[in-house]
Structure formats: C-alpha cells, structure tokens
C-alpha cells in the first residue's frame, strides 16, 4: 500500500478533530503529518494585523524570510520554521483569527502552496488543512473531508479546555468558530470546501475512534 501512497488529504472546518486524526492516520501509515494550519498561523502571528494592508512586494519580502521544513513521522512529525520547531505560541484564538485573515491573501496562499507541494516531493504525508484536497493536492489518491455542526465542535473544544483546567466560555467558543467558518468558507480564493472526489465524513455523532476507523477502512 505504501509504495503508491504519496499524499493523504484531510480537510475540514475548525475544531472538527482533524489534528488528532491526521496525526493518528499518519502514525498508522508510517508517514509524515503536515499541519498546514500551523503555517498560516506562523504568518498570522509574524505579520500581524497589518498584513492585509501590505503590498504584494512587502508581503513577498516578509514571506521570503521564512523557510519551513518537516521531519519525523506520525506523532513524532515536527514542522520547523528556520530550523526551530513550531511551538504552542501559535495555539491561541487570537493567532487563529490572524491566520484566517492572512489566509485570504493570494500571495500568502501561493507561497504556502509551493512550500506544501515541495515538502510532498520529499516525503509521503498526511496533509491537514482547508484546501489540501481541493487546491494543493488535487491528484491525491486518498482525500477526506470531516465535518460537524459548529455547536458540536464548540462543545468539544470547551471540554478540551476544561480538561486542561483552562477557563472556557462555550457561547464565546461557538461564536468564534462560526466567525472563522464564515471567513474560511466565503473567501474568494481556496475557500473551505470538500473536493469533489473527497470522502466526506460527518463526525457529529462519532467519537474519535469511530472517525479513525471510518478513515482507515478506505485503506483496506
Ligand atoms: O487548522 P488551523 O485552525 O490551525 O488553521 C488556522 C487558519 O488557517 C484557518 O482558520 C484557516 O483560515 C487557515 N488555513 C487555511 N488553509 C489551510 C489551513 C489553514 O486557510 N490549508
């Protein structure tokens, strides 16, 4: 199976469980896991709110300062920027909103698309994101699109935060998820949408185990 396996795409909206599943699928298949959301988060975090007002030349000059690389497989996959592994500093709702905002910029999307494709020439991988199956890897053999209602995704996130002992406001989380959905689904370039040939899995009634089994069934 692995000889002809190059790229598995896993797309879907915020909070649907993509990261947990993508890492697990990569581990099971012994291939790398690529978190493309982290790439947009890095640019959102580094460029800040000013990004949408920058000229294309300015943005290109900023983008050129960052080199991404991917090492390891499965749970041990590590995405680095300029040689430093990406850390938890990008895992906040503020950075997520900035990421969503830079993700609308064609220059940013084009640059990251090139980097993502380049990485896929070096290693087989599970690529997690919004447009992996539809735009970046249209010829991928295995494509998955996960979905669930905003309320369900919000309550999963709420439970995660509570388990970590972090303060959480369910209504606020659901509102933020809906806002990010809106930005991601309505942008004119590479909107969040299932590729025509993607396997769509509605996870609303499934736990992680159920979704994992549903995905792995396609590989047998
Ligand atoms: O997946 P994550 O929540 O980390 O992604 C952060 C934001 O980056 C998303 O809300 C989306 O706007 C953007 N993104 C994207 N295309 C991808 C991955 C992420 O537009 N392939």
- Parse the chain into domains and list their residue ranges: 7-216
Cβ of residue 99 lying under 6 Å from some atom of ligand 1: yes
Cβ of residue 184 lying under 6 Å from some atom of ligand 1: yes
* Mean pLDDT value of segment 181-203: 91
Report how far ligand 1's centroid is from the alpha carbon of 177 (Å).
12
User: In the CATH scheme, what architecture does the domain 7-216 have?
Assistant: 3-Layer(aba) Sandwich (3.40)
**Structure tokens belonging to residue 117:** 């494709």
| Percent of the chain whose pLDDT exceeds 70 | 97
Average pLDDT taken over every residue of the chain: 94
Which residues have CB under 8 Å from 59's CB, separation 6+?
47, 51, 105, 107, 108
- Which pLDDT score is estimated for 190? 83
pLDDT in tens, 9-36: 999 998 899 999 999 999 999 999 999 9
Cβ of residue 9 lying under 6 Å from some atom of ligand 1: no
Phi, psi of 156 (to 5 degrees): -65, -45
Beta bridge partners of 32: 125
- Which pLDDT score is estimated for 5? 59
Please state the pTM of the whole predicted model: 0.91
12 near 149, Cβ under 8 Å? no
Which atom of ligand 1 is closest in space to residue 132's alpha carbon?
A: 21
Residue with the smallest CA separation from ligand 1 atom 12 is: 100
Of 115, 113, 99, 93, which Cα lies nearest the Cα of 47? 99
* Mean pLDDT value of segment 54-83: 97
Q: Is residue 189 very low, low, confident or very high in pLDDT (cuts 50, 70, 90)?
A: confident
């Amino acid at each position: 199976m692995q000889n002809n396996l190059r790229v598995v795409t896993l797309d879907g909206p915020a909070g649907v469980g993509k990261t947990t599943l993508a890492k697990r699928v990569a581990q099971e298949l012994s291939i790398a896991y690529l978190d493309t959301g982290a790439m947009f988060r890095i640019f959102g975090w580094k460029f800040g709110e000013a990004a949408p007002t920058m000229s294309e030349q300015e943005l290109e000059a900023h983008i050129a300062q960052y080199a991404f690389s991917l090492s390891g497989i499965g749970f041990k996959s590590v995405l680095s920027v300029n040689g430093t592994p990406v850390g938890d500093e990008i895992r906040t709702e503020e950075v997520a909103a900035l990421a969503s905002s830079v993700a609308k910029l064609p220059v940013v999307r084009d640059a990251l698309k090139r980097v993502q494709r380049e990485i896929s020439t070096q290693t087989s991988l599970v690529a997690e994101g919004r447009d992996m199956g539809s735009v970046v890897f249209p010829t991928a053999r295995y494509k998955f699109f996960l979905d669930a209602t905003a309320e369900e995704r919000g309550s999963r996130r709420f439970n995660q935060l509570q388990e970590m002992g972090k303060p959480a406001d369910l209504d606020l989380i659901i509102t933020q998820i809906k806002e990010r959905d809106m930005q991601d689904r309505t942008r004119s370039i590479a909107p969040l949408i299932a590729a025509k040939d993607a396997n769509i899995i509605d996870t609303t009634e499934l736990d992680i185990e159920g979704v994992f089994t549903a995905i792995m069934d396609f590989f047998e």
